[in-house]
Structure 1
Amino acid sequence: MKKILISFVLLIALVLGACSGGATENKESSDSNEKGSKTITYQSENGPVEVPAHPKRVVVLQSFAGNVMSLGVNLVGVDSWSKMNPRFEKGLKDVEEVSEENLEKIIELNPDLIIGLSTTKNIDKLKEIAPTVTYTYGKVDYLTQHVEIGKLLNKEKEAQAWVDDFKKRAEAAGKDIKAKIGEDTTVSVIENFDKQLYVFGDNWGRGTEILYQEMKLKMPEKVKEMALKDGYYALSLEVLPEFAGDYMVFSKNPDTDNSFQETDTYKNIPAVKNNHVLEVNAKEFYFNDPITLDLQLDYFVKSFLGN
C-alpha cells in the first residue's frame, strides 16, 4: 500500500507529463458556451474536445501549471504541488489552490478550461463545469507534452519555438560539460522523500530529462538497471553508494529529515568526498515545464562550468 501511495505522489509531483499525440484544428467556430464566443477543436487522446480559442480562466489540476504559465495564459486554479513551488510563487500569487475533490471551489472559479491527468478523479463532473482535457502520464516525451499543451491553448507556434531553442541550448551545454568532466563521467539524481531514498531514471523531472536526454550525460549502470524502466527506484542508505555517480544531484526537500547526510555511509561516497554533490531545492525541481527546465539548465551550466 505504501509503495502505491508513494508512486502516486511521485507521479503527481513529476515532471514529466504525458499527453495525446493529436493535433488541434485551427478553424475557429461559434460556441454556445457563455464563457467564450469562439472555440477550436482539440484532438485529445480521448477524442475531439471543443475548447476556447483563447482561454481566459484555466484550472490545472496536476503537473502542467508551468506549461500554461510559460505560454502567457491566465490561471485561476492550480494543484497544491504547483502552489508550493517557490519558482511559481510570484506568478501564482493570486491563483487559488484546488483539487479534483473540491468541485464547489472549481465552480466558484468559473473556469473556461480544465486540464488534468487521466488519473484525475471526477472527470465526468469536471466536464460539466468546463471543457476538460486530460493527458496520460508517459504517453509522449516531456517536450512533445509542452507542444501538445500549446496546441490545446492555441499557442502551438510559441510552444514549438521554445522547444527548438531549449534543445539547442541544452545540447550545447551538454557538449561543454562533457568536455570538462569527461565523456564517461556518470551523474545520478537522488531524492529523500517520506523517509525513503529514491534514485531517478531519465524522465522523472528533477533535471533528469536535461542531464540524460538532452546533455546525454552517463547514468551509472546500477541506476540504468533499476530505475530506467519505471522512472524511479526506492533504495536504502546502505546501497546508495552502488547507485551514486561521479556526480550526484540531490533533490533536497528542506522540510524532510535529511540526517542520512550525516552518516559515514553517505560521507564516504566518492562524489560526496570530492565535493561533487549538487544540492537543489526539490520543490523547485520536481517538474519539467519550460519555467522549471530553464531554471534547471541554468543551474547545471553554472554548477558544472562555473558560468
Structure 2
Amino acid sequence: MKTREKHTGMLLAAAALATAFTCTAFTVSAAEEQEMRTVETDKGEVEIPVNPEKIVSDYYLGEFLAVDVKPVIASPYSLSNKFLEEYIDGIQAMNVTSAETSLEMIVAEQPDLIVTITEADYEKYSAIAPTVYIEDGKRSDEELFLYIADLVGKEDEAQAYVDDFNTRVMDAKEEIQGIVGDQTVSIVEVWPQQIYTMGSHFARGGSILYDMWDLKAPEKVQEEMVDGDTAYEVVSLEALPEYTGDFILYGVLADTDSSFVEDSQLWNNLDAVKNGKVLSYEQVSFMHRDPITLNAQLDIFLDFFRGFED
C-alpha cells in the first residue's frame, strides 16, 4: 500500500474551518438538479451527480487530468507539479490565505462535486456540494486512479491508461535490469539540514524502480523501505554511505542550501558521485504519484539508465 504525503501548509486548517462559515451561508449546489448515483466512499455512501461538471479537489489533480477531466479549482500544491503544466490552463488555484477565503472561493463556483483528502474539512465541504473524502494511503496508486476515474464515469479510459503505462514499464524491464545488473539504486533527498532516504512507498518513482523493475536498493533501504513498510528515514551525513547505492536519484527541496551535502568530502567520495551515476530530479514534481507524473518519471528513468548502456 502506498502512502501519499500530506502537505499541511497547502491544506485547510481544521480549527479555522470550524469558525469560517455557517452552513446557511452556502449556495445550493447545482448537483440538486442533476441525475444522481450512489457511490461508496471512505465516509460511507454518498450521492453524487452521474456526470459532474464542476469539480473541486484540494489534493488530487493528475488523476482527473489523465482522463481529460479538468477541475475548476485545485490546490496550489497540485498545480505546482511541473509534469502537469500543459494540462492546467484555466484551473483556478485554491485561495489558501485562510479557511474563509478558500470556502468563499468554492461557494462562488457552485461545484457539483468536491473531492478531498482532508477529513477535517468533510462536513464543511459537504454543506456546499456532494463530497467524496479519500483516505490518505488506503489505496495503491492504480486503485486510487481507477476510483477517482469512476467518480466521473471514466473508468474505461483510466483502465486503458493503466494498461498502457504497465506495458511501457514492463517492456523496458529486461533492458533496464540488463543495464543495472547487480548494482543498487537509491533515492536521496535534501531538505534544510536534513537528508531523507526512501524506497518504494514514498513517491519519487520508487514503485517503478523497485516494485515493477525489481531493481535492488542498498541493504538497509531494501529491508526497511522496500520489503518493509517504512516510508522514509532521516539519516545523518555520516550514515549516508549505508543508504546510497551505485546509482543515486537526488532531489533538493526548493530554496534549500544543499552545500552541507554536496560540498562534503563524504558525498564526493561516494561511488555513484565519482562515477557520474547521479540523477538530479525536480523535487516538487517527484513528490507526486499521479498517472501523468508516473509516466513522466518513467521517461526520465529510461533516458538516465540508457545512458549507461554498453
TM-score, normalised relative to structure 2: 0.83
1:93 is the counterpart of 2:94: no
Identity %: 35
Alignment of 1:274 with 2:275, yes or no, is yes
| Distance of 2:37 and 2:217 partners within structure 1 | 43
Deviation of 1:55 after TM superposition, in Å, equals 1.8
Q: Does residue 1:143 correspond to 2:155, yes or no? A: no
Rg (Cα) greater in structure: 2
Note closer, same or farther for the CA distance 1:181–1:224 as it changes in structure 2 (3 Å cut). Answer: closer
CA distance in 1, matches of 2:34, 2:120: 29
Relative to structure 1, the CA distance from residue 124 to residue 254 in structure 2 (aligned partners, 3 Å threshold; closer, same or farther) is closer
Q: How far apart, CA to CA, are the structure 1 residues paired with 2:300 and 2:170?
A: 15
The one of 44, 47, 52 aligned to 1:55? 52
Aligned residue among 79, 82, 97 for 2:78: 82
- Kindly state the Cα deviation for residue 208 of structure 1 after the two structures are TM-superposed: 0.8
Distance 1:40 1:128, change over 3 A: same
* Alignment correspondent of 1:133: 132
Structure 1 ranges of 4+ moved more than 4 A:
none
> Secondary structure, in 3 states, of the residue corresponding to 2:69?
coil
The AA in structure 2 aligned to 1:106 is: I
Alpha-carbon distance in 2 for matches of 1:153, 1:204: 27
Q: Any residues of structure 2 matched to 1:199-214 within 5 Å, and which?
A: 199-214=197-212
The CA deviation at 1:58 is 1.3
**1:141-168: per-residue Cα shift (whole Å, max 9, x none)?**
1111111111112111111111112112
* Partner Cα distance (1:236, 1:116) in 2: 36
**Hey, what does 1:181 align to over in structure 2?**
180
Deviates more, 1:169-178 or 1:96-105: 96-105
Equivalent positions of 1:221-232 (< 5 A) are: 221-227=219-225, 228-232=228-232
Separation (CA, whole Å) in 2 of partners of 1:165 and 1:153: 20
- Structure 1 portions without partners, runs of 5+: 1-7, 14-31
In structure 1, C-alpha distance between the alignment counterparts of 2:177 and 2:67, rounded to whole Å: 32
Alignment check: 8 A CA contact 2:189 2:197 kept: yes
CA shift digits 1:51-103 (9 cap, x unpaired): 122222211112x2111111111211111211222222332232222259321
- For residues 91 and 164 of structure 1, what CA distance do their matches in structure 2 show? 21
Structure 2, gaps ≥5 residues long:
9-27
Deviation at 1:47, TM superposition (A): 1.7
> Helix, strand or coil for the counterpart of 1:90?
helix
CA contact (8 A) 1:56 1:74 kept: no
Q: CA deviation at 1:9?
A: 9.8
SS at match of 1:111: coil
Secondary structure in 1 matching 2:221: helix
Alignment of 1:1-307 (within 5 A): 10-12=5-7, 34-35=30-31, 37-62=34-59, 64-98=60-94, 99=96, 101=99, 102-117=102-117, 119-182=118-181, 184-227=182-225, 228-259=228-259, 260-306=261-307
Q: Taking structure 1 as reference, are residues 9 and 203 closer, same or farther at Cα in structure 2, changes over 3 Å only?
A: closer
8 Å CA contact 2:29, 2:129 repeated in 1: no
Q: Is the 8 A contact 2:29 2:111 kept in 1?
A: no
Structure 1 Cα separation of the partners of residues 194 and 50 of structure 2: 44
- Compute the displacement of 1:284 (Å): 1.8
Q: What is the CA deviation profile of residues 225-257 of structure 1, one whole-angstrom value per residue up to 9, with x for unaligned ones?
A: 343423111111111111001111112334221
What's the offset of the Cα at 1:177? 0.5
